[in-house]
Structure formats: structure tokens, C-alpha cells
Amino acid sequence: MSEFPRLRIHADRLEARGSFAEAQATFLQPDQASVEQLDLLLARANAGVVAHFYMDPELQGVLSACHWPHIHISDSLVMADRAVKMAQAGVAAILVAGVDFMSENVRAVMDSAGFAQVPVYRLAKAAIGCSLAEAAQTDAYLAFLRKAAATPRSLHVVYINTSLRTKAVAQQLVPTITCTSSNVVQTILQAAAQVEDLHVWYGPDTYMGHNLQTLLSTYSRMSDSAVAALHPQHTPQTIAELLQRFHPFEQGHCIVHHLFGAEVVAQVRRDHPQAFLTAHLEVPGEMFALATEAQRQGRGAVGSTSNLLDFIVAQVARLDESAVQQLGGAVEFVLGTEAGMVTSIVRAVQQQLRATGKQVAVDIVFPVAAESVTQTGDALMPLVPGPAAGEGCSTAGGCATCPYMKMNHLDGLQDVLRTVARQAQSGQGKDLRDLQELQPRMERRSADGLDVVQLGSVPILQMREFQRSGRLSQALVDAVCHAPSSSL
């Protein structure tokens, strides 16, 4: 495999090596006219924008350079929180740059916060799918839930990155709480602390499920004091017992993280022995194990997109200039997740370097094949991230970008903003019909009478209570302990 592409970050400039990195860097220095135009459109429409870290790099680059105050780029859960804050600040509409379950989550959270009157719009009329979310809408996942419902003292922990209908169906069958990649471990440990002999059913992400099994197994071999530091009500023995009652779904994968496998890991070990390593909880076991090993040595992080960003920024803040100079003047971070993260990383790292005045460089290494780009034939933008096949990944090694996220683009955002502004003036006609097609693609009530919004919001609100108090709600604990098997 050829050398991994990398982006070198200085306080005042970028250097790209490899065509994939060059394509990413192009978008990090957006055309000022595009920035000014988007700022003007946002103000005219009085709209807020929440976007995911994995967003199209051109769109992220322009958004991150805008001055309009109601723009936020983050992971999926925080997107909904920030949408509520924007509504509180008086925006007339929220635009979601993400896949469809993200606009559903934003809509549900906005409704529960009392802002049902503020419209939420997607950036494309077509469905913006997600291979992982779709895995939870299969007969296999329904069978998984029914098995959980037939098992006494069961709790279904469902990844936030699923549709509202998935959450509603699950809640109808078995007590359910949503989780994120940053709080899933504590959710499981706390649940097991509150419910004796608890069975935990986690889905739909199979890689994350297996990685959680690995973590629990590791905890079960740690000292009493080390486990108590993770959770004061647990011991290695209770973790080992929980591991026997932990059931991950076995047929759910994200195509973005699917190819961070053995070949990529072998090259990382060989070519980047001194690098800091990061890995999202969704990546395959090989990459997860490598980053976990680095984490134990103080040079790695595993977790959510926000966890990885925070780790990189914290390490940059701690850099010793003399030590970095001995390494050739730059420190390496291997990015074990979707490449769209690099926009937020670059902005945060440059801010840190400028604030500290450190004369060092930071290399972001993309563990992808160098050929993971497409030649467009366009004179201004000859290369874009991702292979021409459209999957966003290269089988030659690693993953480039999520094809679904890239259905959100700058032209689409501008078109929606213009439509929102026109409709606000006219109040009817074609613009209104167009906006109706851009609303979250969510069922309010299914054909069999299931109240999708009401039931689907329950697992989200259960997680909110856990985040607020650090404990599962008493209602959820009672449901787990007393629900009759197969009849919830």
C-alpha cells in the first residue's frame, strides 16, 4: 500500500501531501465571496444551521468561515441541543446538514423542548440514508428485539444514530434507552449497577458492540481500584458477570468505518510508530485494539467524534516544542474516523497554536488509500475526496468519506435558504410545497397505529435523564424489572 496522505497544520498555513489530503485542503480555505453570500442568505432567511462533523468538506469550509452566529458543527446529539438554543435565540427555521435520522432527532428534540412551531428542513428532497440506521429496520433487528423482550430483566441500549421509527418499535417491545458513542460505556455500567442480573441488548452497530465486549473484558481483568475509578459500584467480578449478559447485534455496520481493518492497521504500525492514534468506537476491532493500546500508553483515544477532537486539541496544548523538533518539527495524529472531521480539527488546532505561540506543526494522517479521490475534470476543483464508485471508501485501504453525508452540499444549502426567505415573504405557492418536501422524513403515526413521535422520543428522553442525573430514571428501572416477557 502506498504512503498514507497527510495534512500538515501550521498556525498560519496548511501543507498537503497526497491527492486525498490536497482535496481536503482545497476546501479549508474557502472563497471569500462564497462565505459572504452564505452569510447574507442566512441573515435574510433568519435560519440556523446544524451540521455533522462528517459533512461535505466544501460546505464545512464555508460554514466554518461564516460570521452568522447560528451555525454549529458537531456530532449528532449536540446538533439537536444547539438547534434548541438557536430556536431560543429567535431563528425562524433550522436547517440540518446530515442524514435523515439526524433531522428526525432534531425535530423530536425541538418538539419536546416546546419549539414545534419552528420548522426543520433537510437539504435534499431525496432520502439521505445511512447503512447503520437501515440495519436497525430489518427483520433481523426485529428478531433481536423480540428475543430481548422474551428475556427477563432486559434493557435495550440503542445507538442514537437510528431512525425515530426504530426507537418507537423498540420502545414498544422492550424498555429502551438511546446512547451516544461518548456515553454508552457509562450507560451500560450504571444500568447494571441499578438493576441486578441485567441483560443489556446493544445495537445496531456490530463493531461498537464487539468493541464494548472488548472493553468489558479488559475491565474484568483490572484491579479493584481501577474498576472503582470507572464506576464506584462495580468490581472486576461484577463486570465479568455483566459481560456474560451483554448481547450485541451481529448484523449492523457503517460503511464509513467498515474498512479500517487489518491491512490499514499493519501500515499504521509500520509507518507511524510515534504517532498519536485516534479511533471512533464504530471502527473494526483491529483499529480499535490499536488505538486502545495507544490509549493505555497515553498516546491514543477511542470514543466519539467529539472525544477525538478534544483529545487532539488537548495533546496540541501539551506539546513540548523541543521534543517536537527532535521528531522533525511535527507531531502526527492518525485519524481513525471519517475524513470530514478534519475541518473542525484544523480550525481548533490552528486556534490552539496561535493562542500558545508554539512553533510546531501538526500532521493529520488519513489512513486511506492515496487513490481515494475522484478527478472531476473541473479546472477550479480538479480533485474531490472519495473514489468515483461513489461508496466513499477504497477497498485498497481505509475509508475516505461518507457518501450519504455528501448528499448535503453548498448549492443545496443556498437553494433551501432562498426558498425559506421567499416563502416567508409570500406565505404560499410552490415554495411552500418545496419546503414540505424538505421536512424530516418521519412518520407521525404508522399504519398499525403506532405513535412514532411519542414512543420514539421516550428512549431519547431517558438518555437525557441519565445525562442530567447520572442515573437511569426510576420509571425505566421499574419497566426493566417488572415488564412481563414478550408482552411489553
The CATH code for residues 31-127+408-437 is 3.40.50.10800
- DSSP reduced 3-state for 153: coil
- What is d(CA 250, CA 138) in angstroms, rounded to the nearest whole number? 12
- What is d(CA 418, CA 36) in angstroms, rounded to the nearest whole number? 15
Mind listing the pLDDT tens digit of every residue in the chain (488 residues)? 578 889 999 999 999 988 778 877 888 888 899 999 999 999 999 999 999 887 777 888 899 999 999 999 988 878 999 999 999 999 999 999 998 989 988 998 899 899 999 999 999 988 887 777 888 889 999 999 999 999 999 999 999 889 888 999 999 999 999 998 889 999 999 999 999 999 999 999 888 898 899 889 989 999 999 999 999 999 999 999 999 999 999 877 655 444 555 677 888 889 999 899 998 877 666 777 888 889 888 999 988 888 999 999 999 999 888 888 877 889 999 988 777 788 889 999 999 999 999 989 999 998 864 444 444 444 444 444 444 333 333 322 334 456 677 778 899 999 999 999 998 877 666 778 889 999 998 776 664 667 888 899 899 999 999 999 999 999 999 999 986 544 33
User: Backbone phi, then psi, for 451, in 5-degree steps?
Assistant: -80, 95
Architecture of domain 132-253+443-482: 3-Layer(aba) Sandwich (3.40)
Within 10 A of 48 (CB to CB), how many other CB atoms are there?
27
pTM above 0.85, yes or no: no
Q: Do domains 31-127+408-437 and 132-253+443-482 have the same CATH topology?
A: yes
Which residues pair with residue 303 across a beta bridge?
A: 280
For the chain, which residues make up each domain, given as ranges?
6-26+256-404, 31-127+408-437, 132-253+443-482
Quick one: 6-26+256-404 is in which CATH superfamily?
A: NadA-like (3.40.50.10800)
Within 10 A of 51 (CB to CB), how many other CB atoms are there?
28
CA triplet 481, 138, 149: central angle to 5 degrees? 15
